[in-house]
């Protein structure tokens, strides 16, 4: 789950920016909720744990179960 959380937190700002662009002017309207998502997207990487902490989590799991490395390739 650490690798999934890391990936999602890194991709979310890009995905939200793309969604905002797709909605055009409607995306910038506060009533749509998109501006709030756009502002908060970068914060999820901080609140959900930094990339380094998630990487250490993954390394610890791989140390305990080295055979799980095959699932990543």
Reading the block at residue 72, the tokens are 């990543």
Reading the block at residue 60, the tokens are 């610890």
Q: Is the dihedral of CA 3, 39, 24, 27 positive or negative?
A: positive
Q: What does the pLDDT look like over 10-27, one tens digit per residue?
A: 899 999 999 999 998 888
pTM more than 0.85: no
**Residue 45: which of 56, 36, 54 has the closest Cα?**
54
Name the 3-class secondary structure at 48: coil
Instruction: Write down the pLDDT at residue 19.
Output: 93
């Amino acid at each position: 789950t650490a690798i999934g959380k890391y990936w999602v937190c890194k991709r979310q700002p890009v995905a939200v920016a793309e969604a905002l662009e797709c909605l055009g002017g409607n995306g910038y309207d506060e009533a749509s909720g998109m501006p709030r998502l756009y502002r908060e997207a970068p914060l999820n990487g901080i609140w959900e744990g930094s990339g380094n902490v998630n990487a250490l989590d993954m390394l610890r799991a791989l140390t305990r179960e080295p055979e799980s490395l095959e699932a990543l390739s």
